[in-house]
Amino acid sequence: MRSSDIKKYVSLRDALVTEKADLEARLVEINAALGGGETVAPKRRGQKPGRPAVAGKKIRRGKRAKNTIGLRDAVLTVTAKKPLGRKEILDAVVKLGYTFTAKNPLNSLNTLLYTAKGVKNFGGKFGPAK
């Protein structure tokens, strides 16, 4: 290939990429005008996920709970005397005062129980690793 062909290809490609970005930005504006709420622009290569679609606009997310104790520490506290099942641990942790903001707190607890160091599975019951 000749270098002029390569330059022509690169310039055409750059023009298409720029036009695509402009169109995506315009779609975001149209969605906002139609009341589509806050939207996130389509992910482009190298872009961090969850980045606001329009600069300066923030996307609202749920508030983080202000717990005085971490979930891991709460689990180790409630299972200190004897190993407990998952639902028993969930009830005890909530009774201890830990607040979950997730829609399904058992999923968060499961993640901790099966991945955290210091927590051991004793045939379906979990307790501190000794």
Rounded distance between C-alpha atoms, residue 124 and residue 130, angstroms: 17
Q: Which of 31, 33, 1 is nearest to 42 (CA)?
A: 31
Supply the pLDDT for residue 44: 59
Rounded distance between C-alpha atoms, residue 92 and residue 52, angstroms: 38
Fold classified for 71-128: Arc Repressor Mutant, subunit A (1.10.10)
pLDDT in tens, the chain (130 residues): 688 888 888 899 999 989 999 999 898 888 888 886 555 555 556 656 655 555 556 666 677 778 888 999 999 999 999 999 999 999 999 999 999 988 899 999 999 999 988 899 999 899 998 7
- Domain layout of the chain by residue ranges: 1-61, 71-128
For the stretch 97-119, pLDDT in tens is 999 988 899 999 999 999 988 89
Rounded distance between C-alpha atoms, residue 51 and residue 43, angstroms: 9
* pTM (predicted TM-score): 0.52
Q: Which of 76, 83, 32, 67 is nearest to 53 (CA)?
A: 32
Supply the pLDDT for residue 89: 95
